[in-house]
Amino acid sequence: MSLYVKLRYILKVVSAAAWVIVLSVSYAYTWDNPPGFAQTIKSWFGSNSSAPSLFILAVVVYLSPNMLAAIFFMFPFIRRYLERSNYRIVMLMMWWSQ
């Protein structure tokens, strides 16, 4: 494997671990009276009244690459156009989604 493929796999493992933490913490905010470990997590980060929207936002951000892949599947001409793009952010997004 090339260095970039190894780097992508390492970054995917790190991002998966980060998502486990982000989704767990944001889900702990959705409960009014969380039991056990969820109460501990909630006490670490404080209490917030807009918590359910934080969890929904985290889920939407987490699922956005899958939504983007579905759009690329339904509209292949968009994917072909983006593959020829020279913008760094688009190149990163296409590299990450491989």
Q: What is the pLDDT along the chain (98 residues), one digit of tens a residue?
A: 899 889 989 999 999 999 998 888 888 777 777 677 667 766 766 665 554 567 888 888 888 888 888 888 899 998 888 888 888 888 887 777 77
Same domain membership, residue 93 and residue 73: yes
The pLDDT assigned to 47 comes to 61
For 27-51, b/e burial (b = at least 16 CB within 10 A) is: bbbeeeebeeebeebbeeeeeeeeb
The pTM assigned to this predicted structure is: 0.64
Same domain membership, residue 57 and residue 43: no
Same domain membership, residue 27 and residue 67: no
Same domain membership, residue 58 and residue 35: no
Number of domains within the chain: 2
Q: Which domain holds residue 82?
A: 48-97
Same domain membership, residue 39 and residue 81: no
